[in-house]
Amino acid sequence: MAQLSYRDAVAAGIAQEMRRDQRVVLFGEDIAAAEGVFKTTVGLLEEFGPRRVRDTPISELAILGAAMGAAMTGLKPVAEIMFSDFLACCWDYVANQIAKTRYMSDGQVSIPLVIRTANGAGVRFGAQHSQSVENWAMAVPGLKVVAPSNAADAKGLLAAAIRDPDPVLFFEHKGLLAGKAEVPDGEHVEPLGQAKVLRRGNDVTLIALAAMVPCALKAADALVREGIAATVVDVRCLVPLDARTLLAEAARTGRVFTVEENPRLCGWGAEIASIIHEECFSALKQPVVRITTPHVPLPAADRLEDSVLPSPERVASEVRRALGK
Amino acid sequence: MAQLSYRDAVAAGIAQEMRRDQRVVLFGEDIAAAEGVFKTTVGLLEEFGPRRVRDTPISELAILGAAMGAAMTGLKPVAEIMFSDFLACCWDYVANQIAKTRYMSDGQVSIPLVIRTANGAGVRFGAQHSQSVENWAMAVPGLKVVAPSNAADAKGLLAAAIRDPDPVLFFEHKGLLAGKAEVPDGEHVEPLGQAKVLRRGNDVTLIALAAMVPCALKAADALVREGIAATVVDVRCLVPLDARTLLAEAARTGRVFTVEENPRLCGWGAEIASIIHEECFSALKQPVVRITTPHVPLPAADRLEDSVLPSPERVASEVRRALGK
Amino acid sequence: MSTTKNAAAQALAGDADIPAAQRLALYRMQYVIRVCEKRAHDLFLQNLVKGTTHLAHGQEAVAAGFAAAMNPDDYSFCTYRGHHHTLARGVGMLPVLGELMGRQCGLMKGKGGSMHLTSVEHGVMGSYAIVGAHLAIAAGAAWSAQYRGTQQVAAAFFGDGATNIGAFHESLNLAAVWKLPVVFVCENNRYMEYTPIREVTAVEHPAADRAAGYGLPRIVIDGNDADVVYRTAREVFAKARAGGGPSLVECLTYRHGGHSRADPAKYRPKEEVEAWMKRDPIVLYRARLLAAGVAEAQLAAIEAETMRTLDEATEQAKGSPPPALESALTDVWADGGASWRN
Amino acid sequence: MSTTKNAAAQALAGDADIPAAQRLALYRMQYVIRVCEKRAHDLFLQNLVKGTTHLAHGQEAVAAGFAAAMNPDDYSFCTYRGHHHTLARGVGMLPVLGELMGRQCGLMKGKGGSMHLTSVEHGVMGSYAIVGAHLAIAAGAAWSAQYRGTQQVAAAFFGDGATNIGAFHESLNLAAVWKLPVVFVCENNRYMEYTPIREVTAVEHPAADRAAGYGLPRIVIDGNDADVVYRTAREVFAKARAGGGPSLVECLTYRHGGHSRADPAKYRPKEEVEAWMKRDPIVLYRARLLAAGVAEAQLAAIEAETMRTLDEATEQAKGSPPPALESALTDVWADGGASWRN
Ligand SMILES: Cc1ncc(C[n+]2csc(CCOP(=O)(O)OP(=O)(O)O)c2C)c(N)n1
Ligand SMILES: Cc1ncc(C[n+]2csc(CCOP(=O)(O)OP(=O)(O)O)c2C)c(N)n1
Ligand SMILES: [Mg+2]
Ligand SMILES: [Mg+2]
């Protein structure tokens, strides 16, 4: 096993699939010669050449439109939208075209593509470059939604997303890019739709995604020193959702906390909390607690940004409060 | 009180505010000379002239961008996005610009505008012209979200939205446009942020919005004949949300059903259900049941479309099932 | 039959660049579109077509001319006003009318509806109901063809109104920079829904006057003359296949009816309508064929045969059941289902 | 002081169209921007500016020239690379640097950050971090001015890269059709983030070559010559105020540094960088003033005074506290709060 950073793991996942399948092409703004503004595509132009790795104009509509057209006609495009906030600039393609065309065509058309995008806060980029918008995608039928929390998943889930016959939105968290982890050598593919239990404890269940996974793990560390044992589940994929694992882990402790980075309303936490309430109501000792960013745009200044994002301290204190400690 | 159709009530609400305030201007595609593709702006060009009532090119970005710029500099624009599905074409303006600019500017900038749009299904327009996307808007901090269920509210809430100093997304339901109701004579303004209890029953609480309100009322009619008394609450505004009324009505029966037209995941039902679970858990006799469209794009054929939308029958049968009847 | 065909061939020999058989095919296709659109309108008035329809009667020459110049594996991308292009690529009247009527026999079994006609088997890669969106999708298909090294071209058909939307601009630029084998065809019928294009556009020719902004030549043609359209189509497709990159073609035309549904199109000046009705592409083309010596009987035979097929298709569609309700929950995903969780 | 000013005024009298005092002001503003941007860079390297910054050193002449031609109540709409335009409208260095550093003294008290500088009081209606979005917003402000019957104009400043995004197209068309008093100013610095604009654009001049598509004249100017910029700005603003509608101005310029943060801009050919450094707008302008007889001492005095103000601003910003944490939960709504429920 090699130690890889999350950003290198992204490049490694793409490279693995490009080697395997000539139909995979990569494009976006500054991803070729400049190797990505987040350095997530280093080495790819060099290895695969300008036919398969292409810089585009600043034309988010054209990027996703072209990705869709290429996917419909035999390619497997991996398109980058530089910041997930810019998905708003091409949301028509995401929500109305890419998500719906298979269905509207009665299955005639396949759209096997991946939209990669840098998501999330913590890097002081302000309200238009820091959002977590995976819930936007989850709300639209026809999209698969993946958000890895570590380098190994970044590679393995991205490989699976590229192989997947359906459109996948792949959220790479800006705050995690530098983090290193063991990534299996050789071909590495992690199936979509499987949550992962990262640690088990019998008192509470913390359900987290992307950058909130290390946050929840840190909270769990703090809590265990106080005698509170937390299970931590990494959701990994919002669609397909591994509801079975979430429900099982919810029922085991009866005290569930979702930890989301997105603003308060209509986040994935509301969906998962609703599912848990609906399907294991009687096993719950308390209502599911949603820990989220408050419903505000993200401020730029470091202190302000830190104050609104869920932190290990806030997670731990919500748990303590629920347990009356 | 006059009987007005919902579509005429929309025009009446706009006219009332345009008479009152010179700063109110109206624009969008085919809204002036053609008086709106849904005939919701009949008579306005004639009364207010082409300076205040303007047709635009098919340029959703420019429409909302211009609305925002005008709102920042002293006007109170009412912009129409013809179908709410097309909000996806200008989502950047909705979610990134209009919603966030007051906050980012530390309150220097005000954006008093209304985005009116035809929302919802039931008219066999297919997957790109039938969506209910009020949950998209609810998920974005900085937007007020209104969706009237009848003509009186269409006028009164629209008037309030136009007077409001914040950006308001105003969802006019296509399926309700022809419906008539009593609309108060003279100036009519309904405050935003107040849910309305339309009927009271002690067995169950149905929480609905827009076209799902008549659906829930019909279900309540059917249920009462079977001895089941339902409370029906019209949410009216998702933001600001009248959580107090919803919680009170939820606690009173302990059995709550949300009735939403949007697809399953991350709808407003998930948010409201979560709030109810969080804040009146012990008063609940059962988990909140969410009745939604399944998580699929909308099919075009009448029979197919009807089969996926929540119907009075489905609502009633969910209630019966919950009560073990 | 075959003697008649030969006679016609001889009669048209003067216009050597378009073979007589091709001319007859162009006539037939325009006629098919015309009567099928009229039937769609009637069915709408009978409440057998629910929702909406956007008819293209008056614009037949554009569809017939472009489709005639395409290879079977070329790609068409249409709008909600897409029946004509769908028929022109060879899709039958039955699946088209069936789809409008929301029946099991419909092209997409009622799941898409009139605005989303799609027949991959015929190269009709979809009809898109959000103005302008499909221009970029067509560019992507062209990129795929270029990448795969095929000789395929993609054509995107759109209205004058679509030239003012952002996706138009982004698609043209990308296609030009990447020299993609895509042809952008603007059917300038002078109106958006109800508003004249000139009232909301900074230039007279909404497509052609923008071509230079993408390094492309300015092309404006008579969209009511199927021969002109066909010749232009041959040229721009040949250029695309030869690696010469995209083209933007503005076809001047007119819709005979309203924008959609039962719109009586009262917003159009009477004289304008009359002038354009005189330039009915089918009337003109029929006259040209007759002038060139094609026998009236041959055209009448084409017309009769078309009407027979149309009537049959109509009856069959009327008799076709509505789609099975379960189908509303299929084909969200490649596995055929709609499940988003375990 | 005032004698020196008079001497300079005489020295420049030959160029009668730009008064000497205006020239000195143009020099001063360019210098202010230059040193403030350098300071921002130093503060970034010292980790006192978190997140990101996009500096405009090299592009000072555009900002100084346009702002000098604006009335106090005119509107500026900027991008993330907006410090120069913000300073040029008269915003102090302290609130700008303070905002970059996320301090209480910042223009928006740290809530917006470097990419969103806004000072309504100075007509700076915001800096927008999504490429191209503000062009339509500026058009809207211009519409408002037109509607209210004021003589205000709106100016939107943007990069070469923004010319390929849909909002550019839609904004230009709308502004042209409605004859709005808005000026679209493209700062063509040849690069987007790291990719040269020519590699992704179908025409040589990404803005000017598109002007005809909106019925506008083609304007390309030397963006490194503040006099040229100022003269052009006067003209296009006068046209806008007179009801003549929008203009699109392409200013050729170059950024001296990287795109953002600590980007060393290695993707740019050495010769290109050297050639442009020789055309440093401030060096050229200084030489011109000296050649016209302005005393070296007078320029040195301007420079010294500017540096003093800058140093003071820097120290004050460093000493300013971070914003109160509660402010993260204010100003979502007009009532000052963030509450979305009762
Ligand atoms: C983005 C978007 N905006 C608005 C509409 C509503 N709409 C449907 S057709 C149409 C007019 C289009 O006019 P044009 O492009 O000229 O095509 P035509 O209908 O004349 O064929 C409009 C505004 C839409 N479908 N998509
Ligand atoms: C819609 C959108 N796409 C991409 C980006 C990321 N981005 C920020 S600046 C930039 C380059 C812009 O280049 P240009 O317009 O030339 O302006 P410059 O930075 O040179 O001033 C890009 C791609 C963005 N902010 N918004
Ligand atoms: Mg048209
Ligand atoms: Mg640039």
Model confidence at C280: pLDDT above 70: yes
Chain C residues interacting with chain D (CB cutoff of 8 angstroms): 164-170, 172-173, 176-177, 199-203, 209-210, 212-216
Which residue in the list B17, B35, B60, B318 is annotated as catalytic?
A: B60
What confidence tens digit (pLDDT) does each residue in A19-53 have? 999 999 999 999 999 999 999 999 999 999 999 99
Q: How far is CA A254 from CA A44, A213, A286, A312, C126, in A?
A: 47, 20, 7, 21, 49
What confidence tens digit (pLDDT) does each residue in C159-170 have? 999 999 999 999
Whether the CB-CB separation of C210 and C172 falls below 8 Å is answered with yes
Please name the helix (run of DSSP H) or strand (run of DSSP E) that holds residue C251, with its range, or none.
strand C247-252
Which residue in the list B129, B172, B249, B305 is annotated as catalytic?
A: B129
The residue to which tokens 């040193």 are assigned:
D35
Please state the rounded mean pLDDT for residues C39-64: 97
Instruction: For ligand 1, say whether the CB of B88 is within 6 Å of any of its atoms.
Output: no
Residue C119 main-chain phi, psi, to 5 deg = -145, 90
What is residue C212's three-state secondary structure? helix
Quick one: DSSP state of residue C123? T
Q: pLDDT band at residue B212, thresholds of 50, 70 and 90?
A: very high
Model confidence at C8: pLDDT above 90: no
CA of D80 from ligand 2 middle (Å) equals 9
> What is the pLDDT at residue A111?
98
Please state the rounded mean pLDDT for residues B180-200: 97
In the CATH scheme, what is the code of domain D20-318?
3.40.50.970
Contact: C147, A244; criterion CB under 8 Å: no
Q: Which of residues 36-75 of A touch D (CB under 8 A)?
A: 37, 55-61
A173 as an active site residue: the answer is no
Residue A311 main-chain phi, psi, to 5 deg = -125, 160
Which residue in the list A17, A35, A80, A129 is annotated as catalytic?
A: A129
What is residue D157's three-state secondary structure? strand
CA of C129 from ligand 1 middle (Å) equals 8
What confidence tens digit (pLDDT) does each residue in D154-204 have? 999 999 999 999 999 999 999 999 999 999 999 999 999 999 999 999 999
Can you give the three-state secondary structure of C155-187, one letter per residue? EEEEEHHHHHCHHHHHHHHHHHHCCCCEEEEEE
Instruction: For ligand 1, say whether the CB of C305 is within 6 Å of any of its atoms.
Output: no
- Cα–chain center distance at D120: 15
Mutate to test the interface with D, among B106, B166, B245 (most CBs of D within 10 A): B106
Quick one: DSSP state of residue C321? P
Radius of gyration of chain C (CA): 20
Instruction: For ligand 2, say whether the CB of A29 is within 6 Å of any of its atoms.
Output: yes
Q: Which two tokens stand for residue A243?
A: 């509801």
> What is the pLDDT at residue D261?
87
Atom 12, ligand 2: residue with shortest CA distance: D192
CATH domain B196-323 topology: Rossmann fold (3.40.50)
Which residue from C57, C35, C28, C10 is spatially nearest to C301, judged by alpha carbons?
A: C28
**Amino acid symbol at A277:** H
Can you give the three-state secondary structure of chain B, one letter per residue? CEEEEHHHHHHHHHHHHHHHCCCEEEEECCCCCCCCCCCCCCCHHHHHHHHHEEECCCCHHHHHHHHHHHHHCCCEEEEEEEEHHHHHHHHHHHHHHHCCHHHHCCCCCCCCCEEEEEECCCCCCCCCCCCCCHHHHHCCCCCEEECCCCHHHHHHHHHHHHHCCCCEEEEEEHHHCCCEEEECCCCCCCCCCCCEEEECCCCEEEEECCCHHHHHHHHHHHHHHCCCCEEEEECCEEECECHHHHHHHHHHHCCEEEEEEEECCCCHHHHHHHHHHHHHHHHCCCCCEEEEECCCCCCCCHHHHHHHCCCHHHHHHHHHHHCCC
Q: How far is CA D328 from CA A126, A316, B102, B165, C26, in A?
A: 12, 22, 12, 20, 67
Q: pLDDT band at residue C15, thresholds of 50, 70 and 90?
A: low
Instruction: For ligand 1, say whether the CB of B125 is within 6 Å of any of its atoms.
Output: no
Residue A27's DSSP bridge partners are: A54, A79
A105 touches chain B (CB under 8 A): no
Q: pLDDT band at residue D3, thresholds of 50, 70 and 90?
A: very low
Beta carbons within 8 Å of B173's beta carbon, 6+ residues apart: B6, B118, B119, B120, B147, B148, B149, B210, B211
Can you give the three-state secondary structure of D200-225, one letter per residue? HCCCCCCCHHHHHHHCCCCCEEECCC
Whether the CB-CB separation of D106 and D100 falls below 8 Å is answered with yes
CA of D207 from ligand 2 middle (Å) equals 15
Same fold, A2-183 and A196-323: yes
Question: pLDDT above 70 covers what percent of chain A?
Answer: 100
Please state the rounded mean pLDDT for residues A58-70: 98
**Amino acid symbol at A281:** F
Distance CA D189, CA B11 (A): 48
Which chain C residue has the Cα nearest residue A76?
Answer: C144
What is residue C234's three-state secondary structure? helix
Length of chain B counted residue by residue: 325
What is residue D76's three-state secondary structure? strand
Q: How far is B117 from chain D (nearest CA, A)?
A: 20
| Residue A131: Cβ within 10 Å count | 29
Model confidence at D4: pLDDT above 60: no
Q: Which residues of A touch C113 (CB under 8 A)?
A: 104
Distance CA A145, CA A165 (A): 13
Q: How far is CA B203 from CA B200, B282, B285, B316, B317, in A?
A: 9, 16, 11, 13, 14
Of all residues in chain C, what percent are helix, strand and coil, respectively (each to 5)? 50, 10, 40
Distance CA C282, CA C287 (A): 8
> Ligand nearest C128 Cα, by number?
1
Quick one: DSSP state of residue C322? P
Ordered by start, the domain boundaries in chain D are 20-318
What confidence tens digit (pLDDT) does each residue in D67-85 have? 999 999 999 999 999 999 9
Q: How far is CA B118 from CA B64, B141, B175, C312, in A?
A: 15, 22, 9, 38
Q: pLDDT band at residue D16, thresholds of 50, 70 and 90?
A: confident
Ligand 1 atom with least separation from CA of C59:
21
Candidate of C55, C80, C192, C259 to mutate for ligand 1, largest count of ligand atoms within 8 Å of Cβ:
C192
What is residue D261's three-state secondary structure? coil
> What is the pLDDT at residue C261?
87
Distance CA A66, CA A48 (A): 20
Model confidence at C228: pLDDT above 70: yes
Distance CA C53, CA C74 (A): 26
Question: pLDDT above 90 covers what percent of chain D?
Answer: 94
Distance CA B227, CA B245 (A): 25
Model confidence at D2: pLDDT above 90: no
What confidence tens digit (pLDDT) does each residue in A74-91 have? 999 999 999 999 999 999
The residue to which tokens 């109810």 are assigned:
B276
Which residue from D181, D260, D212, D228 is spatially nearest to D61, judged by alpha carbons?
A: D228
Whether the CB-CB separation of D126 and D116 falls below 8 Å is answered with yes
Q: Which two tokens stand for residue D176?
A: 């042209």
Model confidence at D65: pLDDT above 90: yes
Beta carbons within 8 Å of C84's beta carbon, 6+ residues apart: C33, C37, C56, C59, C60, C62, C63, C64
Angle (nearest 5°) at CA D88 between D84 and D90: 130
Which residue from A152, A147, A155, A198 is spatially nearest to A175, judged by alpha carbons?
A: A147
Please state the rounded mean pLDDT for residues A200-214: 98
Share the mean pLDDT of chain D: 95
Q: Which residues of B touch C107 (CB under 8 A)?
A: none
**Alpha helices of A144-260 — where are they, by DSSP H?**
151-163, 212-224, 243-253
Model confidence at C267: pLDDT above 70: yes
Count interface pairs A-C at CB distance under 8 A. Answer: 165
Instruction: For ligand 2, say whether the CB of A58 is within 6 Å of any of its atoms.
Output: yes
Q: Which two tokens stand for residue C66?
A: 């472009």
> What is the pLDDT at residue A211?
98
Contact: C166, D164; criterion CB under 8 Å: no
Distance CA D26, CA D34 (A): 12
Share the mean pLDDT of chain A: 98
Model confidence at B162: pLDDT above 90: yes
Instruction: Give C5-36 as a DSSP string.
Output: HHHHHHHTTTSTTS-HHHHHHHHHHHHHHHHH
Q: Which of residues 238-277 of A touch D (CB under 8 A)?
A: 264-265
| Residue C125: Cβ within 10 Å count | 29
Model confidence at B46: pLDDT above 90: yes
What is residue C334's three-state secondary structure? coil
A305 as an active site residue: the answer is no
Parallel/antiparallel/unpaired status of strands B2-5 and B230-234: unpaired
Q: How far is CA C100 from CA A179, A246, B296, C110, in A?
A: 54, 43, 21, 8
What confidence tens digit (pLDDT) does each residue in D271-301 have? 999 999 999 999 999 999 999 999 999 999 9
Q: Which two tokens stand for residue C154?
A: 């993609």
Q: pLDDT band at residue D15, thresholds of 50, 70 and 90?
A: low
- Domain A2-183 matching CATH 3.40.50.970: the answer reads yes
**Which of A194-198, C2-6, C93-97 is the least confident region?**
C2-6
Whether the CB-CB separation of D251 and D221 falls below 8 Å is answered with yes
Beta carbons within 8 Å of C101's beta carbon, 6+ residues apart: C43, C48, C49, C50, C317, C318, C320
Ordered by start, the domain boundaries in chain B are 2-183, 196-323
The residue to which tokens 């995107």 are assigned:
C156
Question: pLDDT above 70 covers what percent of chain C?
Answer: 96
Quick one: DSSP state of residue A241? B
Go through A279-312 and write b for each residue having 16 or more CB atoms within 10 A of its CB, e for each that does not: ebeeebebbbbbbbbbbbbbbbbbbbbebbbbbb
Model confidence at C275: pLDDT above 70: yes
Residue C239 burial (10 A CB sphere; 0-12, 13-18, 19+):
middle
